[in-house]
Structure 1
Amino acid sequence: MPTPAGGGPFLSQIMQIEPQWIDYNGHLNMAYYNVMFDRAIDQMWAELGIGPAYMKDRQGSTFTAECHVRYLREIHLGDPVRIAVWLIAADEKRLHTFEELRHADEGWISATSENMSVHIDMTRRKVAPFPADIQDNIGRVLQAHAALPRPEGLGRAIGMPKK
């Protein structure tokens, strides 16, 4: 299952910043943070049993319903990154996740992404409950992740600082 033996969050494979993702400011363009977060979620979803094979064989998938990204520190071409993913909450149709994109060698956080995903019956393109076996997989990961310290920044809202 996606939780490493050490009991931490799911860890993606190490990814590299692609040259075409660098913008005129000389750092990773904001859109490509989402590409990397999405790639990490795809890795976790495959381990939960809801990856591409699930779509093909069972006509189910997930759609992102809401996303909140925080950009904390610039990342540049050549920087290796790894994404940690926590499953924060789940019910029969939704998954609440939190992701941290970190420099893979130095460990500092570049960005976070908090998301709500919904399960979709692709034959009807409507929100639907996960099948029982998938709910069991989700439940095991949710239980393991519930024992972890909550990541800093979870539940943040956009707003001007209070004076």
Structure 2
Amino acid sequence: MIIYEAQVAPEWVDYNGHMNDAEYARVFSQACEALIDHIGLDAAGREHHGYTIYTLETHLCYRREAHQGQPLYVDLTLLDSDAKRLHVFFAMFDGEDNLIATSEQMLMGMKQSSGRPSPFPEAVTNRVAELPQASKEAWPELAGRTIGLRR
């Protein structure tokens, strides 16, 4: 499911002539915002439900350079979820369908009045159920990775 589309802006390009690492995170952050809107927690939904989403953890993998003016799109896969958490996987591609980067994220639903974790409102749960979900046996290759030196 394509959740977000962008184009590499001139101000995103660093001294190496390609998109700066922080800008990859920006694109994935915008993709996460698009997901949050998609499941019914846009500004109106947050106000109506008194509910929001926090990011608990991210793991970003850089696979290719992106250059000024290059079109990008971000694909979403739901890896897992429960009553108040989403484990999501975003994959960023260029206009020729080359994998540019990935971002695996753990998101938590929060009641705004208490600032504490809380189960998703029913309408949000229903929208989450409609997201494309990978089975445990068919996760994207780069999902579930740990960071460390290979010995």
CA distance in 1, matches of 2:63, 2:139: 18
Structure 2 equivalent of residue 67 of structure 1: 58
Structure 2 equivalent of residue 42 of structure 1: 33
Matched, 1:122 2:122: no
Q: Secondary structure at the match of 1:54?
A: helix
Structure 1 equivalent of residue 134 of structure 2: 146
Structure 1 equivalent of residue 98 of structure 2: 108
The question of whether the paired residues in 1 share the 8 Å contact of 2:4 and 2:30 is answered with: no
Structure 2 equivalent of residue 7 of structure 1: none
CA distance in 1, matches of 2:127, 2:4: 21
Structure 1 equivalent of residue 84 of structure 2: 93
Question: 1:133: how far off?
Answer: 2.3
The question of whether the paired residues in 2 share the 8 Å contact of 1:84 and 1:101 is answered with: yes
CA distance in 2, matches of 1:38, 1:118: 15
Cα RMSD of the aligned pairs, angstroms, is 1.6
Q: Secondary structure at the match of 2:133?
A: helix
Structure 2 equivalent of residue 155 of structure 1: 144
Cα deviation digits, residues 17-70 of structure 1 (max 9, x gap): 111111111111111111111111222222211222222222211110000000
TM value normalised by structure 1: 0.85
The question of whether the paired residues in 1 share the 8 Å contact of 2:80 and 2:133 is answered with: no
The letter for the 2-side match of 1:107 is D
Question: 1:150: how far off?
Answer: 2.3
The letter for the 2-side match of 1:160 is L
The letter for the 2-side match of 1:41 is C
Structure 1 equivalent of residue 44 of structure 2: 53
Cα deviation digits, residues 60-108 of structure 1 (max 9, x gap): 11110000000111111111000001011001110000011100x2111
Q: Structure 2: state its 5+ residue gaps.
A: none
Give the aligned length: 150
